[in-house]
Amino acid sequence: MTQILFHNINKKDLHTLAVYEKEGGYKGLKKAFAKEPDEIVEMVKASGLRGRGGAGFPTGLKWSFLAKDVFPRYLCCNADESEPGTCKDRELLQKNPHLLIEGMILCSYACKIETVYIYLRGEFYDLCEIMETALEEAYAKGYLGKNILGSGLNLDIHTHLGAGAYICGEESALLNSLEGGRGEPRMKPPFPAVQGLYAQPTVINNVETLCVVPYIVNNGAEKHAAIGTEKSKGTKLVSVSGHVKKPGNYEVVLGTPIREIIYDLAGGIRDDNKLKAFIPGGSSVPMLPADKVDTPYDYESLQAAGTMLGSGALIVMDHTVNVVEISLRLASFYMHESCGKCTPCREGTRWMWQILQQIQTGKGEASYVDKLLDICDNISFKCFCPLGDAAVAPVISGIENFRADYDELIEKMAANTAV
């Protein structure tokens, strides 16, 4: 199985510069510096790499959108990883910090950036220390700082810790937070590529996205574009969690059937129970019923199935689960994490939670399900940022696919009152 990111992830002391270099690390720099920056951007475009943070936007294209001739420019690495179910960036940061540093250097060279901030969620204090140590090693070796390897590139990379807010993973909220503000999203346009950090052109990329860049520079765009499907190139780290025997992060070639991920890589369902449902891309994307388990894991197939690849978190549920319970838990999450800036999300997430809570605790009435759908309809596409749409995904898809779970709880209630 082709692996780009995880082939050596469990190598002892990979987090040290010495071992990372022994494994062929930092070779991408000389290769890149022999080319013009724009050639690297074209390479990344041709590789077909798409953002691994959730939205799947083509990476090379994003880089090419930077406002022409406006400097300074910034790179912000999104290490906020807080989409429920997702734990892949944590493993990369912990075990292979130099891979990310190399990726950030390559991006900075391509985009003529001299300052990088790694925005880590506040709870990643331990990873921040690992990253700081790796950065010190890279500075000492001359991979960071002034005139790197004689290329003329000057580059500083800094860490920046958040302080607990899911919304700060959204790129414009991340920028506000990094500027010392409340983590509320910004109006777009202007997009960060035009006016981002400190109103300067800014690239924002996910940890995993940047970690793929050294492979592309070392092996060529074609090599990367040859992996995966027509529209989904390369591999994806999939965080498998929930009711599987071997939960973990697995690197799969895009297009791998979900059945293979659940049953071969993750060892199948616990206690050999029956699969009921799965969420393929983190809590913000619609869940699918078991009969969709042969869907290939790639952007286009998941979209055709009515959901999204998202952050690559595959959450697996067996037949013991009542979907209302799950939707209620996620509704509580989105209510808690709504930044409060816009009304449909701030109020709507609370109403959803209240109704789900009533149904879950046996106080639901037959009309509640339609009421829920009505609220979802008033949130969908009416919010300032995508968090609102994310909040309704588990609820709508839960009702569409597992209405019986709702009816069961509501009927139980009706039966109880009848007595």
Partner 1 sequence: MFVFSEEDEKQIEKILNRYPEEQKRSALLPLLTLVQRREKHVSADAMRDIGRRLDLSPAYVQSVCSFYTMYSATPVGKYLILFCINISCQLNGCDELLAHTAKKLNIEIGGTTEDMKFTLHREECLAACSGAPMMRINDTFYENLTSDRIDQILGSLD
Binding site for ligand SF4 (CB under 6 A): 167, 185, 338-342, 345-346, 383-385, 387-388
Q: Which residue, 207 or 385, is less far from ligand SF4 as judged by CB?
A: 385
- When binding is defined by CB under 6 A, the residue of 25, 169, 192, 247 that contacts ligand FMN is 169
Residue 70 touches partner 1, criterion: CB under 8 A: no
- Residue of 8, 321, 371, 407 that binds partner 1 (CB under 8 A): 321
Q: Which does 283 bind (CB under 5 to 8 A by kind): partner 1, ligand FMN, ligand SF4, none?
A: partner 1
Of partner 1, ligand FMN, ligand SF4, none, which one does residue 124 interact with (CB within 5 to 8 Å by kind)? partner 1
Cα–Cα distance, 167 to 173 (Å, whole number): 7
In SS3 terms, 177-246 reads as HHCCCCCCCCCCCCCCCCCCHHHCCEEEEEHHHHHHHHHHHHHCHHHHHCCECCCCECEEEEEEEECECC
Interacting residues of 96 by C-beta distance below 8 A, sequence separation 6+: 5, 9, 14, 15, 20, 211
Q: Determine if the peptide bond prior to 189 is cis (ω within 30°).
A: yes
Options 9-17, 95-103, 247-255, 405-413: segment touching partner 1 (CB under 8 A): 247-255
Q: Which of ligand SF4, ligand FMN, partner 1, none does residue 54 bind to, with CB < 5 to 8 Å depending on kind?
A: ligand FMN
Distance CA 36, CA 59 (A): 18
> Quick one: tokens of 205?
């990329």
Question: For residues 56 and 388, which CB has a smaller minimum distance to ligand SF4 in the complex?
Answer: 388
Nearest to 327 by CA among 295, 350, 360: 360
Report which DSSP code applies to 24: T
Q: Report the alpha-carbon distance of residue 301 to residue 69 in Å, rounded.
A: 39
Interface stretch with partner 1, choices 26-34, 252-260, 332-340, 383-391 (CB under 8 A): 332-340
CB of 353 to partner 1, least distance (A): 14
The partner in contact with residue 405, picked from ligand SF4, partner 1, ligand FMN, none with C-beta cut-offs of 5 to 8 angstroms by kind, is none
Amino acid at 53: G
The distance of closest approach from Cβ of residue 72 to partner 1 in the complex, given in angstroms and rounded to an integer, is 8
Q: Which does 224 bind (CB under 5 to 8 A by kind): ligand FMN, ligand SF4, partner 1, none?
A: none
3-class secondary structure per residue, 249-290: EEEEECCEEHHHHHHHHCCCEHHHCCEEEEECCCCCCCCEEH
In the complex, the smallest distance separating the C-beta of residue 267 from ligand FMN, rounded to whole angstroms, is 27
Does 307 bind partner 1 (CB under 8 A)? Our answer is no
**What SS3 class is residue 80?**
coil
Identify what 153 binds: ligand FMN, partner 1, ligand SF4, none; CB under 5 to 8 Å per kind: none
Name which of ligand FMN, partner 1, ligand SF4, none residue 85 binds, using a CB cut-off of 5 to 8 Å depending on partner kind. Answer: partner 1
Strand partners, 238: 250
Long-range contacts of 141-149 (CB under 8 A, 24+ apart): 141/17, 141/26, 143/26, 143/29, 143/101, 143/102, 143/105, 144/101, 144/105, 148/29, 148/33, 148/105, 149/29, 149/30, 149/33
Which residue in the set 17, 25, 52, 388 belongs to the binding site for ligand FMN (CB under 6 A)?
52
d(CA 265, CA 252): 9
Q: Is 85 in the site for partner 1 (CB under 8 A)?
A: yes
> Is the preceding peptide bond at 190 cis, omega within 30 degrees of 0?
yes
Cis peptide before 72 (omega within 30 of 0): yes
x/- letters, 107..126, toward partner 1 (CB under 8 A): ----------x---xxxxxx
Task: Give the phi and the psi of residue 288 in degrees, each rounded to 5.
Answer: -125, 150
In the bound state with ligand SF4, the residue whose beta carbon lies nearer, of 102 and 389, is 389
**Which spans of this chain sit near ligand FMN (rule: CB under 6 A)?**
51-55, 57, 78, 80-83, 167, 169-171, 204-206, 209, 385-387, 390
Binding interface with partner 1 (CB under 8 A): 81-87, 89-90, 117, 121-126, 158, 160-166, 177-183, 198, 239-243, 247-249, 279, 283, 313, 315, 317, 321, 325-326, 329-330, 333, 336-337, 339
